[in-house]
Structure 1
Amino acid sequence: MNNNDIVRRIRYAYDIKDADMIKIFGLGGLEITKARYREIMTQQAKDTPRDEKLSRHELEQFMNGLIITQRGVKLAVDGQPMAPNYSMNQDNQINNVVFKKLKIAMQYTSE
């Protein structure tokens, strides 16, 4: 599965509108245009590299933006906003990090 497939599936699973998707990317720190958004949302061929249209870092920015839309900005003890966590360092970590961040965003518990 390509990185943009993950974003596409989340978009359709939670029925998020295109304008809201662009806002989610922005909240995560990635300002994108409508043209760039359309490029991300187009399906890649199976034999293309995983991060051809969307890098690991951009995928994680989207996931962080999704958390912010659902839960708000995480604050430190002193009340200042905390910097988002970036933990996708290798391709084999992507699925685990995506599930972890979806769980945080949607306030799922492991019970």
Structure 2
Amino acid sequence: MINNDVLRSIRYMLDLGDHKVVEIARLADPAFAVEKDDVRAFLLKEDEPGYLACSDGVLAHFLDGLIVHRRGRDERLPSRPVEKRISNNVVLKKLRVAFELKDVDMHQVFADAGFPVSKPELSALFRQPGHKNFRPCGDQLLRNFLKGLTLRVRGASGSAE
């Protein structure tokens, strides 16, 4: 899935303003520089003037910052390095951590989106890429997960948390 679409979905899900997106991205690394104007450009559609592609680095910082924003920083553990390459599987893992979702919750999120996933399918998504049962997360799967998570977070009425 395109990084811009992931950022757009999460921003809508949590009802975040541009400034809050910048703050969250900096939670992962205070030295990381992304500006409000960049965020606005990331949120534009590809055919709109001023569109800017969201890099893996920006999305990785945002997702790591989202984990810190929602769960707090564990000072006992050293900071993890930010991924250089973001795949759909990594996005899924980071959202699972940020929202503290267990397997049961994950199945419910997919079911709420009208896209039920079996237990073996779900566990295969969280395996290491070299594992024999690893399964890459497709765009449709991630899109449905984001849809189900948005329903869970915003509720059926569409109100923000």
- Structure 1 length-normalised TM: 0.75
Return the match for 1:103 from 96, 103, 108: 96
Unaligned runs of 5+ in 1: 46-51
**What's the C-alpha RMSD, in Å, of the aligned pairs?**
1.9
| Mapping for residues 41-60 of structure 1, pairs under 5 Å | 41-45=43-47, 53-60=53-60
1:3 is aligned to 3
Partner of 1:23: 23
Contact in 2 for aligned 1:88/1:97 (Cα 8 Å): no
Aligned mates of 1:56, 1:69 — CA distance in 2: 19
Retained in 2: the 8 A contact 1:73–1:82?
no
Q: Deviations over 1:41-76 (max 9, x none)?
A: 11225xxxxxx6221122111100000100111333
Supply the distance in 1 between the matched residues of 2:95 and 2:89 (Cα, whole angstroms): 10
* Rounded Cα–Cα distance in structure 1 between residues aligned with 2:81 and 2:74: 11
CA contact (8 A) 1:40 1:54 kept: yes
For 1:73-84, list aligned pairs within 5 A.
73-76=73-76, 82-84=78-80
Q: Aligned residues, how many? A: 98
Q: Identity rate of aligned residues, in percent?
A: 31
Residue of structure 1 in register with 2:38 after alignment: 36
Is the CA contact (8 Å cut-off) linking 1:2 and 1:44 kept in structure 2? no
Q: What is the CA–CA distance in structure 2 between the aligned matches of 1:70 and 1:11, rounded to whole Å?
A: 14
Greater radius of gyration (CA): 2
TM-score, with structure 2 as normaliser: 0.54
Residue 49 of structure 1: aligned partner: none
